[in-house]
A and B are shown apart, each in its own frame.
Chain A
Amino acid sequence: MKKQENNKATGLEDNFNRLPDRLLVSIFTKLADLKFLCRCSIVCKRFASTMSLIQSVSLILPSSEAFSFESTRNECKLFQKILCIKSEEIPAYIRSKSLEKLNFIIFLQKFKKLESIYLEFTCPQKIANSSFLLWKAKCGSGRAEIESLVCLIPGSVHKMTEYQPDEKQGNQVYTSEDCQFHNCLGLCWSFMECIHLLCVLIKCHHSLKCVTVTNSEKQGKLVLKDEQLVMWRNSLHIGNRFDCELPLYLVTASLKVLNLPLSGYRMKRVFLVFIKFLELAREDYDDDDDDYDGGLDDLEDWDIEEAIKTWDFEEEEKLLGEALKEIAAKHYKQFFIDHMRLRSGSDSSE
């Protein structure tokens, strides 16, 4: 039995003194958000030292105020640089370059027993507003990389049996396809930024068993666990699919109506973006070589329907899964397929 002191509160006594570290950790774990944990660690030295026993934290990343491709590119380069540094030297690097916004990485390094991280990124404002948005990312097999990302934005979602107001009477604001497209790219870059940070965290925290990446509206998520996480950690040094200047294979589709017989829903004004990140073989690539197509030729016969079949959809992703399969099977002709290479400043289609 635990022996605790039974002295009554005198009013002057530290009330937490009676609580063993284990209980303090349980309370701190409920704080979850790294920001709150950090503030709390300034209360007293015991709080600060107990904090390091916490096994799970959540991290809410602020959205880049002025969101641009340029900022994402710089961010990606920075994280890539950090990834090349030994994890114990990362704090010194962050300090020496006064990268104050990355100081949380230093704080996080105190957590020696960290088993789970929940990362939440914030999409650029516009996309967050489309409440029906669904997204999903697929990891590549065998190493640390994101293979593809899909965004589905329906203008509306109804039960097929429900009364559906005429489009003209609806009070939804119509968003142009161009705008939707840029919104999707915005989500994609925010996500990639988040993945870069994730790689740094995976590198630094060897006790990790599970990481979850989601956006603040929780419209999709990526979970890495156990062996997959180990595989990511072991292959971080060879991963190159995080370069945000990678060539992309891009499929977009725009549909007026999409019926989902299985779940009984009907979506209207559906916009879909499917992004496949292409291999960038370092040895073949140098900055001046604008003609390098990142293996685009191999993709001419790439079949989106086949690709989607290999995705696993969890219970909460059922609707997205069904929509994708429907689109791939029945609306293939409406696909607009393009490949592009994103360049600094603007997106240039080849």
Chain B
Amino acid sequence: MSSSTELTEKKVFLLKSLDGVIFEVEESVAVQLEVIRELIEGDCARPFISLYNVTSEILALVIEYCKHHAETCSGGTSATIADEDLKTFDNEFMNVDENILLELCSAADYLDIKSLFELTCRTLASLIKDRTIIEVRKMFNVENDFSVVEEKAVRKEFAWAFK
């Protein structure tokens, strides 16, 4: 990663969540958020940035994720060890409630953090994959809007998918 930040004084940004909580982050962490990196590159970044779509609970998690990724990548460890470390961290990090996962997914999309977006999508997909239709509905509070007749018909036609 860029070493110029170490020579000059460390730049910090203040990120304000939807519910008004302010987080102080270093530039190396802030640039992980593509939206902010673009602001910085375009020289439009002010030290105080409001994020209207993310609650403090989620923003705290996002910052934790970005911090860990920024530190691991600039830590000077070999690529393979860093990779291993990130994998372990990611696995651990995804070990949260499925509603948090959905919020993280949409926050990662809004803040444009590609790796986190990939990670949450992948995790959500595997949650769905391992469950029956009824379990998925229950897990995410999804209302079944198929009528009994309709559902029976699709299930019959899609019987191949249940083998």
Answer whether A38 and B141 are a contact pair too, CB < 8 Å, given A19-B106, A31-B128: no
Interchain CA distance A176-B115 in the complex, whole Å = 50
A103:B158 contact, CB within 8 angstroms? yes
A44:B143 contact, CB within 8 angstroms? yes
User: Using a CB-CB cutoff of 8 Å, which residues 1-28 of chain A contact chain B?
Assistant: 1-2, 4, 6, 9, 11-16, 18-19, 22-23, 26-28
Answer whether A43 and B133 are a contact pair too, CB < 8 Å, given A11-B141, A15-B140, A27-B105: yes
Please name all residues of chain B whose beta carbon is closer than 8 Å to the beta carbon of A18 when the two chains form the complex. Answer: 102-103, 106
**Number of A-B contacts defined by CB within 8 Å:** 107
Expressed in whole angstroms, the minimum distance between the Cβ of B128 and any Cβ of chain A is 6
- Range, interface on chain B: 35 or more
Whether B9 is near chain A, meaning CB under 8 Å from some CB there, is: no
Residues of B within 8 A of A (CB): 18, 52-53, 98-99, 102-103, 105-106, 109-110, 117, 121-122, 124-126, 128-129, 133, 136-137, 140-146, 151, 154-155, 157-163
Interchain CA distance A254-B22 in the complex, whole Å = 72
Interchain CA distance A26-B146 in the complex, whole Å = 23
A2:B53 contact, CB within 8 angstroms? yes
Expressed in whole angstroms, the minimum distance between the Cβ of B18 and any Cβ of chain A is 7
A103:B159 contact, CB within 8 angstroms? yes
Q: Among the interface residues B124, B137, B146, which one has the most CB atoms of the partner chain A within 10 A?
A: B124
Answer whether A16 and B122 are a contact pair too, CB < 8 Å, given A42-B155, A103-B157, A103-B160: no
Give the residue of A13, A38, A43, A100 whose beta carbon is less than 8 angstroms from that of B136. Answer: A43
Interchain CA distance A13-B143 in the complex, whole Å = 9
Please name all residues of chain B whose beta carbon is closer than 8 Å to the beta carbon of A36 when the two chains form the complex. Answer: 128-129, 161
Interchain CA distance A47-B103 in the complex, whole Å = 18
Expressed in whole angstroms, the minimum distance between the Cβ of A324 and any Cβ of chain B is 34
Interchain CA distance A104-B105 in the complex, whole Å = 30
